[in-house]
Amino acid sequence: MRRPVARKLSVLAVTAAVVSVGAAAPPAAHQPAPPAGKTPVAVGYGGAVASVDADASAAGIEVLRKGGNAVDAAVATAAALGVTEPYSAGVGGGGYFVYYDAKSRTVRTIDGRETAPRTAGSDLFLENGKPLAFADAVTSGLAVGTPGTPATWQTALDKWGSRSLRSVLGPAERLARDGFTVDDTFRGQTAANETRFRYFPATAELFLPGGALPVVGSTFKNPDLARTYAELGRKGVRALYRGGIGEDIVDTVNTPPVDPASGWKARPGDLSAKDLAAYRAKVQAPTRTSYRGLGVYSIAPSSSGGTTVGEALNILERTDLSKASRAQYLHRFIEASRIAFADRGRWVGDPAFENVPTEQLLSQKYADARGCLIKDDAVLTSPLAPGDPRRPEACAPGGTAAPTTYEGDSTTHLTVADKWGNVVSYTLTIEQTGGSGITVPGRGFILNNELTDFSFAPANPAVHDPNLPGPGKRPRSSISPTIVLDRHDRPVVALGSPGGATIITTVLQTLTGFLDRGLPLVDAIAAPRASQRNAAQTELEPGLFDSATAAELTALGHSFKANPEIGAATGVQRLPDGRWLAAAETVRRGGGSAQVVHPAR
């Protein structure tokens, strides 16, 4: 497994947790043993970090121990994930950052989503009038948007951090230079991308050392990325948006460095230095939903996460999920997800280009008008038609139905809290596992394929699609970093997940499992998942697929298909005595890593 870069922390697993809304939770269910070197739950003082990777969590803890705050530690953790999880996140991608400030008891957010080139039109992914095959679009310069991650880091540090970019990049720079230990997940993800990685000599040289897959247990080093981090530390993010790193990105996107012998047609993009120079990470207000008397805060459009999770919660508000049977709970959860996704597809896009009715989508009046479609003894048909949040009409059949478009399932999420009570929930991505597959030569990072999150063509030709490409436009996302506050605006829990469009259902199911069903946070994260995204079938993980509950739901009219793994969540919880509980996956993605500064029994 990967060896930690910082001194190994003695973290203690807990077998029970106290739900911060007041009631004691039942004992945690038996959890599978985590991989060596990873602990999925930790409790203590001084701050906490939860991510998918032990090295990355340790980088955040190192910053907290040296007096940095949650923002500083979040950037340090994210940079380390760019080393150890390079197929999910990094300098070449983007993301969404949600921050709770303990002093003012307010939540702010940063939209660090990638943007399309200024020359992009709605026909970006059309060729001879027809949409490109997804595989052809992904592994190309056409798919690459202007990276937003470095701007997000600098903006967060400038607004709320206490350390310099150079300081917080230190642990990740060291990790890239000295290396980490390859595990099964890293090797498996490399193997899944081996064919297309070989199209690009710079990618093959870095991620297929000696021409072969990295060996589990070997040390993987990325000196090019170490130098990139060092340059960003010395020169600031101008090195990317107005300097040499950016010049290399533009050259790589517009002339993809493909191996001629591979036969791969790597379509060029049209990214310019002006696109990079014009990029800004947007500081904006969060979405807010009231649920069971708590405030649920998340990211507003361009991501659909906050509005879609919020609408589904508003629909579920009218049902006492704590008293429902498991089948009744999942039925309501599935149907609320179906409705919210139908509305997401019709109404949510980049608000700089589209008139997104965010406030109306999050109104309880609209949720009630849509929620009355749900019946206890029947299943809604998918694709379900969207409603009109501007003119709510109870149980209205809605407009014309359209299926949910595809979204890559990679990405990574981290959650951080500090000793002052500040909290960060941050999801970052390069889109699908391995991104575009194109490494910037000499720079050590893969470029994103985020522009494939746009609709290639209208999902429904008869209705305006708010997610078509446009010049400088941000593609719609499902990223849903979430922070829940109590009635006094103090943190209860913060969480998020990767998983493309399944992010929304993962966050929704984890929240309701924790807040309604009384599960300890680590159990709410580990629980087998369902994901309904306005499709004919609901996806189920193995723990649900062959269960008696699934049979009960099938008898009701639900249709299912198996999905081996949905999401990979992390979270932190504020306990009533002031301690932090950090929680991560027990098994998914090889298990996650929860760490605290000062472990406590």
H or E segment at 165?
A: helix 165-178
Cβ proximity of 34 and 591 under 8 Å: yes
Residues 6+ away with beta carbon under 8 Å from 507: 305, 309, 480, 482, 495, 496, 497, 569
CATH fold of 41-282+406-553+560-599 reads Glutamine Phosphoribosylpyrophosphate, subunit 1, domain 1 (3.60.20)
Average pLDDT over residues 289-318: 98
Q: State the residue for tokens 């009384």.
A: 518
Largest CA distance in the chain: 65
pLDDT given at position 23: 32
pTM of the model: 0.93
Average pLDDT over residues 39-66: 97
Q: Return the minimum-mean-pLDDT range out of 27-41, 243-257, 336-350, 372-386.
A: 27-41
Q: How does strand 560-562 pair with strand 538-540?
A: parallel
Q: State the residue for tokens 């309701």.
A: 512
Structure-token pair, residue 82:
């760019």
354-366: b or e for each residue (b if 16 or more CB lie within 10 Å)?
A: bebbbebbbbeeb
Q: How far is CA 172 from the centre of its chain?
A: 20
Share of the chain above pLDDT 90, in %: 89
Query: What integer best gives the mean pLDDT of the chain?
Result: 92
Which residue numbers are catalytic? 411
Residues 6+ away with beta carbon under 8 Å from 427: 95, 96, 411, 412, 413, 479, 480, 481, 496, 497, 498, 503
Average pLDDT over residues 516-530: 98
Q: What pLDDT digit, counting tens, does each position of 531-567 carry?
A: 999 999 999 999 999 999 999 999 999 999 999 999 9
The domain locations on the chain are: 41-282+406-553+560-599
Q: Return the minimum-mean-pLDDT range out of 193-207, 403-417, 432-446, 515-529.
A: 403-417
